[in-house]
Structure 1
Amino acid sequence: MSEEDMNDEQAQYELLLGNLDSYDLSEEDLAVLSGELDAYESERLKALPVIAVVGRPNVGKSTLVNRIVGERVAVVQDTPGVTRDRVSYPASWAGRDFTLLDTGGWDVDVKGIDASVARQAEVAIDHCDAVVLVVDATVGVTNTDEQIVRLLRRSGKPIVLAANKVDSAMQESDAAYLWGLGLGEPHPISAMHGRGTGDLLDAVMEILPAESAVAEATPTDGPHRIALVGRPNVGKSSLLNKLVGAERVVVDSLAGTTRDPVDEHVELDGQNWLFVDTAGIRRRVHQTSGADYYASLRTQAAIEKAELGLVLVDASEPLTEQDIRVMQQVVDAGRALVIVCNKWDLVDEDRRMELDREMDRELSQLRWAERINLSARTGWHTNRLTAAMETAIDSWESRISTGKLNSFLGELAAAHPHPVRGGKQPRILFATQASSCPPRFVLFASGFIEAGYRRFIENQLRETFGFEGSPIVISVRVRERRKRK
């Protein structure tokens, strides 16, 4: 770039930044603009305390999770046992960050209630620092509630009792009956309406430790961590053995051989990598039970501690809904992504064409992820993994200067302005990259930016700056002009 272009870019940057002077900005806005958010993001890499939301089916656990997280992350229906994919979510209250573990969808059946409750509750207890026990105040204490309480008492973990479905002050007497559980004060709440949830979270913050005793901090040094993920029997362990050059992991045609994540240091092209072989994700996490449920929890944790998810699919079989769900799990965790089509030695010409059509049709939102065709059994094309992984991680860690970003968006908005809606046309006032890993961009705008225009911005960012193999997060802060006094 010539000196004249650099001066023009700097002048445009200063002009756009000056435009914000006439708008109301919060303290967090100022932190974003000053670059202080990087320190905030690095703080989040530490091991956050974990809160488990437990209780029998249909007491409102998922509704409470949605309320605490602040968005609809859990599917909610009146039917007991409704499930969804993820089990842990980042959340915050009163300036403190923590991880929320949802244990919804316990498989409690009338024939094996003792074993089912014990199995699922003990897994939840093992993975948390504190427990929120949710009880339906309108029903009262059931036998299942009492069994869960006994398990929680034996764990020694601090417990806060939430008496849910107390939608008005007239129903608070229902919550008073829950003193009989011996867990201290029951906190009357309405997860659906938000009533009392603030007081509940205040009580949780009082018992929550400052640092987790169960969670591990996200590694920030050492070799790049790569999570091998996919549904069962797609060849994850076979690929790891081929890369290592030895039979380090048990391989069997029986699906589900791997239960716990297996770490292995591998040197590829002169660079050291840490591969984590994970259990195959069979179905939505809360449709699993026992050992499968425990394995799914650990696979999710392995993805969140990794920098890149290497998602394997069986190229010889049609792409499944579960394949797509695993890829989305990696993206939702904010990790770089490389798609590996394994068992290529079993693919004929017709299947290759069909696979291309399936990828174009089903993965239209993931076209930025590089795809590698290989055979873990024969080792064919495994040498192509290194370049794809390096590109994806470089994109995941990349950063665009604020001046270059605003110059790019200024030209983009001039050539393709946001559509007029309701007689108004929102403008992008200023933009900055708040953090990397993955790249997160914050746009300050004079009005709501539609999802379609955000996707257009993302596509143009990728076309101009690359970001192959990395998700991009674009958030918009709508700000109003400061009123004249």
Structure 2
Amino acid sequence: MSEHDVYQSVAEAAGDGVRQDRVPPVVAVVGRPNVGKSTLVNRVLGRREAVVEDVPGVTRDRVSYEADWSGRRLTIVDTGGWLPDATGLAAAVAEQARLAVELADVVLFVVDATVGATDVDEAVVDILRRSGKPVLLVANKVDDAATELDAAALWSLGIGEPHPVSALHGRGSGDLLDAVLAALPEPPPPTEDAAGGGPRRVALLGRPNVGKSSLLNKLAGENRVVVDDVAGTTRDPVDELIELGGRTWRFIDTAGIRRRYRESQGADFYATLRTQSALERAEVAVVLIDASQPLAEQDLRIISMVIEAGRALVIAYNKWDLLDEERRHYLEREIDRQLHNARWAPRVNISALTGRHVDKLVPALDTALAGWGSRVPTAKLNQFFSALVAAHPHPVRGGKQPKILFATQADVRPPRFVLFTTGFLEESYRRFIERRLREEFGFAGTPIDITMRIRERRSSRRK
């Protein structure tokens, strides 16, 4: 098999489809702040996924994760600390917890057994009773037999038997999950999957307080995530299925990337890791930029991160309604000067607050995803390179002039090209090749990867 055939086989085998199974039941984890909800979620998942820090209020949105127990898939929803009489940001967090209960099939109400039932816990119990949902009382922080009595005291809440667990050490977590399965409704009969690859996955990225959560709420038509003027409100990636342009999309709201990633600590450090992970499982990234402010170093770093991850890219300039003519003029100059490495990305000027032009995101996403998955037939590609090299050969360096013998597109998502050459191609010439590839074949909205296979000299092969 020739090298061309090998690369063609690899390209045809490449794929990133996601099987869309039946919708798993939803288990909401609620309770007042700092009782160990996120630690319990991590215990159920078997990995450190939810952000945990020994400070109340780290989790603010409702955040869903996929889990599996005894062969049954579950969606675990972590929520912010629930304070029924809260105001301001805390009230928005409490509203997200209420919504999680409304959507849940089973509710895990977590109480700190070492503290006992508080007035806040009793107020939450009243709300849970009115919900009509099955509720399991989780007595957390029962680390040994001596604290079993603390758990038994929670019978006083009047919502059934307390399930003693230690989310930190795993004690009793298996018995709790067995009880969850027993409380769940029977799974529906299997149905044929006609959806194919499932919803396209879109990550919302940007620096803190640029409007990512506001945009997600506007697209959803409701307050799905907490929005506040305080930068850094979102810390965990938040997945939401949203109907847009007549189709379902999976949007992932992420934490803002801060100025000095290596210096971030605690919850911000782990939240940044979650954001990178969210980008890895996305197909296309929408990078939001505050159009009312000069382009910042963080904006450029985030765009570079998307390009390095090989994801399709759409750039959305938010707060466009706040711009006057002078600012728009300077913004165009900033874009031309600073975003030279992403001029191929579709651009949308929007207002997440008013909803202005958010409908234009769909054609921009379609354009980027089409470019991301685009393939050029090998014969057509080599015709292009023959004409290109004839008209614009590589400069002679040291008395030698490298030539392109053959080219193939080895992969898509993103498009990856392999050039078989007689010598090393300079970076400036590779940039020239990329520019001409885009002019000829499009590839809007996607990075392009170009690598070389340099032919060895015959004399070295004889050795």
Partner of 1:164: none
> Identity of aligned pairs, percent?
59
What aligned pairs does 1:243-392 form with structure 2 within 5 A after superposition?
Answer: 243-392=219-368
Cα distance change on mapping 1:275 and 1:311 into 2, 3 Å: same
| AA partner of residue 38 (structure 1) | A
- 1:33 is displaced (CA, Å) by 4.1
- 1:358 is displaced (CA, Å) by 0.7
Partner of 1:400: 376
Aligned with residue 444 of structure 1, among 415, 420, 423 = 420
Cα distance between partner residues in 1 of 2:217 and 2:204: 12
Deviations 1:264-284 (A, max 9, x none): 111111111110000111123
Cα distance change on mapping 1:382 and 1:43 into 2, 3 Å: closer
- 1:230 is displaced (CA, Å) by 0.4
| AA partner of residue 9 (structure 2) | E
Partner of 2:9: 36
The answer (yes or no) to whether the contact 2:416–2:448 under 8 Å persists in 1 is: yes
| AA partner of residue 328 (structure 1) | S
What aligned pairs does 1:146-165 form with structure 2 within 5 A after superposition?
Answer: none
| 3-state secondary structure, aligned to 1:412 | helix
Cα distance change on mapping 1:310 and 1:406 into 2, 3 Å: same
Is residue 411 from structure 1 mapped to residue 387 from structure 2 by the alignment? yes
The answer (yes or no) to whether the contact 1:226–1:307 under 8 Å persists in 2 is: yes
User: Higher RCO, 1 or 2 (CA under 8 Å, sep at least 6)?
Assistant: 1
| 3-state secondary structure, aligned to 2:375 | coil
- 1:420 is displaced (CA, Å) by 0.7
The answer (yes or no) to whether the contact 1:224–1:273 under 8 Å persists in 2 is: yes
The answer (yes or no) to whether the contact 1:32–1:434 under 8 Å persists in 2 is: no
The answer (yes or no) to whether the contact 1:31–1:37 under 8 Å persists in 2 is: no
Aligned with residue 457 of structure 1, among 433, 437, 443 = 433
Cα distance between partner residues in 1 of 2:15 and 2:210: 35
Cα distance between partner residues in 2 of 1:468 and 1:34: 23
| AA partner of residue 389 (structure 1) | L
- Please provide the CA RMSD for this pair: 2.2
| 3-state secondary structure, aligned to 1:36 | helix
The answer (yes or no) to whether the contact 1:227–1:306 under 8 Å persists in 2 is: yes
| 3-state secondary structure, aligned to 1:256 | coil
Cα distance between partner residues in 1 of 2:12 and 2:4: 10
Partner of 1:466: 442
| 3-state secondary structure, aligned to 2:219 | helix
- 1:353 is displaced (CA, Å) by 0.6
Deviations 1:142-166 (A, max 9, x none): xxxxxxxxxxxxxxxxxxxxxxxxx
Deviations 1:157-216 (A, max 9, x none): xxxxxxxxxxxxxxxxxxxxxxxxxxxxxxxxxxxxxxxxxxxxxxxxxxxxxxxxxxxx
| 3-state secondary structure, aligned to 1:35 | helix
Structure 2: which 5+ runs fail to align? 20-53, 55-195
| AA partner of residue 37 (structure 1) | V
- 1:30 is displaced (CA, Å) by 2.7
Cα distance change on mapping 1:390 and 1:39 into 2, 3 Å: closer
Partner of 1:236: 212
Cα distance between partner residues in 1 of 2:260 and 2:13: 32
Cα distance between partner residues in 2 of 1:425 and 1:33: 28
| AA partner of residue 469 (structure 1) | G
| 3-state secondary structure, aligned to 1:385 | helix
Cα distance between partner residues in 2 of 1:45 and 1:308: 15
Cα distance between partner residues in 1 of 2:434 and 2:5: 20
- 1:311 is displaced (CA, Å) by 0.2
Deviations 1:287-324 (A, max 9, x none): 10000001000000000100011000111111100010
Deviations 1:208-264 (A, max 9, x none): xxxxxxxxxxxx921110000000000000000000000111100110111101111
The answer (yes or no) to whether the contact 1:230–1:280 under 8 Å persists in 2 is: yes
The answer (yes or no) to whether the contact 2:7–2:408 under 8 Å persists in 1 is: no
Partner of 2:181: none
The answer (yes or no) to whether the contact 1:33–1:432 under 8 Å persists in 2 is: no
Cα distance change on mapping 1:371 and 1:43 into 2, 3 Å: closer
- 1:371 is displaced (CA, Å) by 1.2
Cα distance between partner residues in 1 of 2:376 and 2:12: 18
- 1:43 is displaced (CA, Å) by 9.6
The answer (yes or no) to whether the contact 1:432–1:443 under 8 Å persists in 2 is: yes
The answer (yes or no) to whether the contact 2:7–2:410 under 8 Å persists in 1 is: no
TM (norm. structure 1) is 0.57
Cα distance between partner residues in 2 of 1:240 and 1:230: 13
| AA partner of residue 393 (structure 1) | L
The answer (yes or no) to whether the contact 2:234–2:255 under 8 Å persists in 1 is: yes
- 1:398 is displaced (CA, Å) by 0.5
Cα distance between partner residues in 1 of 2:302 and 2:449: 19
| AA partner of residue 211 (structure 2) | G
Cα distance between partner residues in 2 of 1:41 and 1:446: 28
Structure 1: which 5+ runs fail to align? 1-26, 47-114, 116-219
Cα distance between partner residues in 2 of 1:309 and 1:43: 16
| AA partner of residue 278 (structure 2) | A
Cα distance between partner residues in 2 of 1:450 and 1:275: 39
| 3-state secondary structure, aligned to 2:458 | coil
Q: How many residues align?
A: 286
- 1:42 is displaced (CA, Å) by 5.0
Cα distance between partner residues in 2 of 1:426 and 1:238: 52
Deviations 1:67-104 (A, max 9, x none): xxxxxxxxxxxxxxxxxxxxxxxxxxxxxxxxxxxxxx
TM (norm. structure 2) is 0.59
